[in-house]
């Protein structure tokens, strides 16, 4: 009586991606919807007819009807699957809220909203124990009720919940976190969790699936769904991670001390992925360089940017040195050399005037690169 299903969560449909330009934000929002189609394809390929979505299906309660309907229409297309939706802390279940609006708009017959903490049948001798979120924050572990739910002989029991877990995520965890021991105390065969955006096993048979489409620069392995097979009641579940993410997000840190380091950094970035157009990269640069090297660094990153979907640079860890002789000697024009000399004298210190002078020197160095032929010119 083996039972196989897909565990996913944290879709965050409607996420605005406000930190990106409009063109990139539209692409990223679309990718979150398209992930549903990829999940459906994986489910069918893996002979799964049920998909359990562990909360935060939508990014916020204030989404418009179009955003709500776009998802329900995607789910409707995949009528061979039953989609089990659980309200999370971003889209909690409350009177007059998002799920009430969806009920009025209508959902297809292959979508089941689990709006109560009570067991529900998935198949013969297979019960789902859902724990829907009813608020943005909760003072109680939403899975506590599962301990009192009597296990029937010969049945498979699957818990579905959303929230942080005890012993995971650092010290000082707030109230309302889920006990990873719930699988054992409630006699569950598997506990499917949402909230953490990476794919993570907390204990035997207790998993976060993570977000299927990455949405930041993480190191926690997003971009997967889990195929879960329970051979029989009481058996250790077989869990397989399956990739479904479209875009890849990279975080790279470099130390830059001299001009040669800029060329090496650019070479490393070009090799980060065979298809950079499907990538977003956060570049963090630390070190200590002259204004001239910083200007070359910024110009190289600007020239490299079109190869990727998005590059985000963080240069706040980069110290910029004033080297008056080198600055003055860069310019063949006596006038520009005199300007650089004057700016250098003003740039010493921490005043607003000094900061403005440093910015002007950076622009002057960038101007020199442009006149001299741009990044890579000699």
Please determine, for residue 318, whether its predicted confidence score (pLDDT) is greater than 60: yes
pLDDT band at residue 176 under the 50/70/90 scheme: low
Q: What is the arithmetic mean of pLDDT over 262-279?
A: 94
How far apart are alpha carbons 221 and 210 in whole angstroms? 8
Q: Quote the strand ranges of 66-142, DSSP E.
A: 82-85, 111-113, 120-123, 126-131
User: How high is the pLDDT of residue 121?
Assistant: 95
| Residue 177 token pair | 């976190």
CA neighbor of 256 nearest in space, from 292, 284, 289, 281: 289
Q: What is the arithmetic mean of pLDDT over 99-123?
A: 94
**226 or 318: which leads in pLDDT:** 226
User: How high is the pLDDT of residue 129?
Assistant: 98
| Residue 211 token pair | 């977000």
**330 or 293: which leads in pLDDT:** 293
Q: What is the arithmetic mean of pLDDT over 178-204?
A: 94
Q: What is the arithmetic mean of pLDDT over 311-338?
A: 71
User: How high is the pLDDT of residue 375?
Assistant: 45
For the chain, the domains span 3-243, 248-371
User: How high is the pLDDT of residue 330?
Assistant: 57
User: How high is the pLDDT of residue 325?
Assistant: 59
User: How high is the pLDDT of residue 354?
Assistant: 78
Q: Which residues of 17-27 are buried (b: 16+ CB within 10 A; e: fewer)?
A: beebeeeebee
User: How high is the pLDDT of residue 219?
Assistant: 79
Q: What is the arithmetic mean of pLDDT over 273-284?
A: 95
User: How high is the pLDDT of residue 304?
Assistant: 94
Strand, helix or coil for residue 223: coil
Domain 3-243 bears CATH identifier 3.60.21.10: yes
Please determine, for residue 369, whether its predicted confidence score (pLDDT) is greater than 60: no
Supply the angle between the helices 22-45 and 65-77 in degrees, to the nearest 10: 30
Supply the angle between the helices 352-371 and 291-304 in degrees, to the nearest 10: 60
pLDDT band at residue 363 under the 50/70/90 scheme: confident
């Amino acid at each position: 009586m083996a039972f196989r299903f897909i565990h996913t969560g944290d879709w965050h449909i409607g996420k605005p991606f406000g930190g990106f330009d409009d063109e990139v934000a539209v692409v990223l929002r679309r990718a979150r919807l398209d992930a549903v189609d990829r999940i459906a394809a994986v489910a069918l390929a893996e002979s799964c007819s049920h998909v359990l979505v562990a909360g935060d299906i939508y990014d916020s309660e204030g989404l418009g009807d179009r955003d709500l309907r776009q998802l329900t229409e995607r789910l409707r297309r995949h009528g061979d699957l039953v989609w089990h939706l659980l309200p999370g802390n971003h889209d909690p279940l409350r009177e007059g809220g998002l799920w009430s609006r969806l009920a009025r708009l209508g959902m297809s017959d292959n979508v089941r909203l689990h709006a109560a903490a009570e067991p529900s049948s998935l198949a013969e001798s297979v019960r789902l124990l859902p724990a829907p979120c009813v608020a943005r924050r909760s003072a109680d572990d939403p899975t506590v009720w599962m301990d009192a739910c009597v296990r029937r002989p010969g049945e498979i029991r699957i818990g579905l919940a959303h929230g942080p877990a005890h012993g995971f995520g650092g010290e000082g965890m707030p109230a309302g976190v889920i006990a990873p021991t719930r699988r054992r105390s409630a006699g569950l065969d598997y506990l499917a969790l949402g909230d953490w955006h990476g794919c993570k096993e907390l204990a035997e048979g207790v998993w976060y699936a993570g977000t299927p489409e990455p949405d930041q620069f993480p190191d926690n392995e997003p971009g997967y769904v889990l195929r879960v097979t329970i051979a029989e009641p009481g058996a250790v579940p077989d869990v397989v991670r399956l990739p479904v993410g479209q875009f890849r997000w990279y975080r790279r840190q470099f130390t830059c001390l001299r001009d040669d380091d800029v060329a090496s950094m650019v070479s490393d970035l070009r090799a980060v992925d065979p298809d950079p157009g499907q990538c977003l990269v956060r570049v963090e640069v630390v070190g200590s360089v002259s204004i001239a090297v910083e200007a070359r660094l910024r110009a190289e990153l600007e020239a490299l940017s079109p190869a990727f979907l998005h590059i985000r640079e963080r240069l706040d860890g980069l110290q910029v040195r004033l080297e008056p002789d080198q600055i003055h000697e860069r310019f063949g024009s006596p006038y520009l050399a005199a300007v650089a000399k004057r700016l250098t004298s003003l740039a010493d210190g921490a005043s607003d005037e000094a900061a403005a002078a440093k910015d002007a020197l950076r622009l002057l160095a960038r101007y020199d690169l442009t006149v001299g032929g741009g990044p890579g010119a000699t």
